[in-house]
Chains A and B, each alone.
Chain A
Amino acid sequence: MHKKFLLIAAMLFAIVISAISGTVTSQSAEVNIYSARKESLIKPLLDQFSAETGIKTNLITASADKLLTRMINEGRNTPADILITVDAGRLFRARQADIFQPIKSQKIEQLVPSNLRDPENYWIGLSQRARVIFYVKDRVNPAQLSTYENLADQQWKHRICIRGSDNIYNQSLVASLIAANGKAATQQWANALVGNMARPPQGGDRDQIKAAAAGQCDIAIANTYYFARMLENKKDPSQSEAAQKMAIFWPNQQGRGAHVNISGAGISKYSRNLDNAHKLLEFLVSPAAQSWYANANYEYPVNPSVKPGGLIASWGTFKADAIDLSKLGELNAEAVKTMDRAGWK
């Protein structure tokens, strides 16, 4: 009995060991990616890149904070060539932690506008994501809407749905308000906004849009691509029905513009596949890849030569906040504290 048991244990162990060694053997033409973009939102592009160049891509996905922790601790032996995040704050932090090196590519400098990359090219944006106001067409007159600041107004008492303060998109939004209006004014704004919430914050961005459409609130704050994915959802008609009750409102168009964050990437200071890493980033900002972001995930391209089509085009153009994105990273902790003090769950 026990011999059989030991035999099975030994066999399993052998299989696992071989699995380990299988995954670490390196090939020459490859590039290793730590990605905070989810597998389904990056793998298709990587596969396309491999097909075009013959360069193999190796991927790990997890949240940016944890990948950053892993990369920092792995130090000069890190296998990562590229770190992809879904917000600028994390890219800023990675640069602060001294794990990036400047990206040297004229092609990228030509394709990506300078406000969407680090001043010294330690990181670049890959796609833009606008966080805006959605209102219920039946119950809200868009003339009453104007700015993020205006959401603190008494008229919106118990009418706003927004997700929790743990979420990085909200943290960045509040950081952008602190950058624009200062700490004290933003604290007042956050206090008032919490009073205007229709329910304690919960769920994700889509949940806010759904709750508004179902009548729980009149205003929802969300990223535009969630709204687009709901509208285009063929499998679950209830999602597109809900989204159709809502309309998009671009805030702060008379002032600094709507809050925009980026998903972006930087190259590891210790990259061993430097050429391939540059090739991949060049590919990711090329027109072909950029239109994939726009068409498959409804994000805004960073490459201005690529015009989003279809649904996104129908929303028209808007003015985006041109804030230095590093600021969002710098002010992130202050934003979290502000929300804590306001009682934003």
Chain B
Amino acid sequence: MTQHVDVKDVTAVPTQDPQPASDRMPPSPGLAAAVVAGFAALAVGVSVLGGDLLNPAASTTDGDYSGETVEMMIPLAEGGGTDTWARFVATELTQEVPGSPGLAPVNDDGGEGILGTNHFMSSARTDGTEVLVSTASTVVPYLLDMPAVRYDFAELRPILANGTGAVVYARTGAGVKGVEDLVDRDRPLVFGGIAATSLDLTTLLAFDLLGADVESTFGFEGRGPVNLALQRGEVDIDYQTTSSYGPAVEPLVEDGTAVPLFSLGQVDESGEIVRDPNFPDLPTVVEVHEELHGEQPDADELDTYRAILALTYTYQKALWVPEDTPDEALELLRSTAEDMGADPEFQEAAAEVLGGYPLDASPDLAERIGDAYRVDDSVREDVLELLETDYDITID
């Protein structure tokens, strides 16, 4: 393999260049200035007037969204569960809303979603044409009151919400056959996580509640890689959310590599932790506690767990509008979503995206979600204390 510059095939042809620019006289200063000034005037026109011409004021309070475009802020990168969920639900919703408005999804994963949500909080239009997607990565920093967070869910109003669940499972190769192997171990189980301040938090609280003998290693890229690491034997215990449980964990359970231990559970309308409707056979954390320790968990600890569970799972994904949005516009969006959620055709089409949890847009949603998002100081303190003592993380 030597050089293959085939000289015969290659002949140099002089360029028939347009007259070299450097030889040309520069345009006369007056003419050049006139051209630039003309464009400058056009530019001023475009920036000052164009904005208003292109974006006329919206009229959304008349029960009709025709001619409008709904802008949806997704504080996550493209791809992945929540992004797909948001795009799907919003596409269906805007088709159902009277007047069938257009939809413009905007992804901004700056600061793990904090920047995009901050931006929405400070500059979203309050006429019902801008909606926000909330997700675990923006809810947990809000819960922990991180300094970068400049949004407050108490100052937003929900249109609809959709929950998810999760199952904790372990590798049989690590000597785990059931929940009883979570405690009194010779060697702690290795849990693979992304970061203690991510959605992992709820699982960590569950381990803490159970007094499970688990040692955490953070730094994984996502739950998928943790699942692979568990198959390779690098980690022993992991959790997967409902939508990925089927493809990622079920095959392992079938061939005996892994065993499901418990589900994180769901918070029902009366505020109790109940079994996950998608995993009716798996016990909840509370049941496991009773089985392992013969009693109910400590009431305070359980309160903390329940608050975090509601926030990070039961009401994990939601669409919001700013507080000052007219009631008519919000009510139109919400009632459309409620009807859509009850429509069997939609339920069938959306079964996979919704992950087996109902699309919640009932009139009392704002109240319930408000309760869940109004986190008591004691809960926040408990979580911060756990992070500091067990995971050496302080939020300043």
A and B interact: no
Interface residues of A (CB under 8 A from B): none
Interface residues of B (CB under 8 A from A): none
